[in-house]
């Protein structure tokens, strides 16, 4: 059974700039410095676009992990979707949505994932992974909006 959550980030940045920051490999790497995330294959710098893939290597829960994601949908500067094609999850989908607001723009991150391991995985999804991933996505959002990585 999939777990889903969303995170909302408000910023004074224009929507088009926030859209580009969200698909920037370099900005993502900077926002994930704490987990030593590196792009090691596919698009490894600059902006990722529709149909392109990136493979990330990072440390989470004290373990080295790799995940390859592909941008499967995109309508600039309104939204894009990246989905795991290889990695630690049974399924991982991240929809990034962008809207104008009176003072700049808003980004909504919608995450859906399924852990790789049976009944124990469902418990881990809800108790550990969902909270951990939500904290990562919120920190990334703050960084993209102009804050500092944590």
Residue 27: which domain range?
Answer: 8-144
Cβ count within 10 A of residue 80: 22
Structural domain count, the chain? 1
Please tell me the predicted confidence (pLDDT) of residue 77.
98
Asked whether residue 3 is domain-assigned, the answer is no
In a domain, 149, yes or no: no
CATH assignment of the domain containing 102: 3.30.530.20
What is the structure's pLDDT at 141? 96
Query: In this structure, is residue 33 part of a structural domain?
Result: yes
pLDDT of the residue at 12:
95
The answer as to whether 1 is a domain residue is: no
* Angle subtended by helix axes 130-144 and 15-22, to nearest 10: 130
pLDDT per 10-residue tile (average), the chain, 150 residues: 91 96 96 93 98 96 93 98 95 97 95 78 76 94 76
Domain-located, residue 21 = yes
The per-residue pLDDT for 61 is 84
What pLDDT is attached to residue 149? 41
Evaluate whether residue 125 is within a structural domain.
yes
**What are the tens digits of pLDDT across the range 13-22?**
999 999 999 9
Residue 92 belongs to some domain of the structure: yes
pLDDT digits (tens, 9 = 90+) for 53-65: 999 999 988 889 9
Say how far apart CA 57 and CA 33 lie, in whole Å: 12
Q: Could you tell me if 97 and 79 are in contact, meaning their C-beta atoms sit under 8 angstroms apart?
A: yes
The reported pTM is: 0.92
pLDDT at residue 115 in the model? 81
């Amino acid at each position: 059974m999939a777990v889903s959550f969303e995170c909302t980030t408000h910023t004074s940045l224009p929507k088009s700039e926030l859209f580009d920051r969200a698909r920037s490999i370099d900005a993502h790497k900077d926002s994930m410095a704490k987990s030593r995330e590196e792009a090691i294959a596919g698009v490894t710098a600059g902006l990722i676009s529709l149909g392109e893939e990136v493979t990330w290597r990072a440390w989470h829960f004290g373990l080295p992990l790799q995940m390859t994601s592909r941008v499967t949908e995109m309508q600039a500067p309104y939204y894009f979707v990246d989905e795991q094609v290889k990695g630690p999850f049974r399924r991982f989908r991240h929809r990034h949505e962008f809207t104008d607001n009176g003072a700049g723009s808003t980004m909504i991150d919608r995450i859906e994932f399924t852990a790789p391991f049976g009944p124990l995985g469902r418990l881990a999804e809800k108790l550990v992974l969902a909270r951990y991933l939500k904290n990562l996505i919120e920190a990334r959002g703050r960084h993209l909006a102009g804050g500092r990585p944590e």
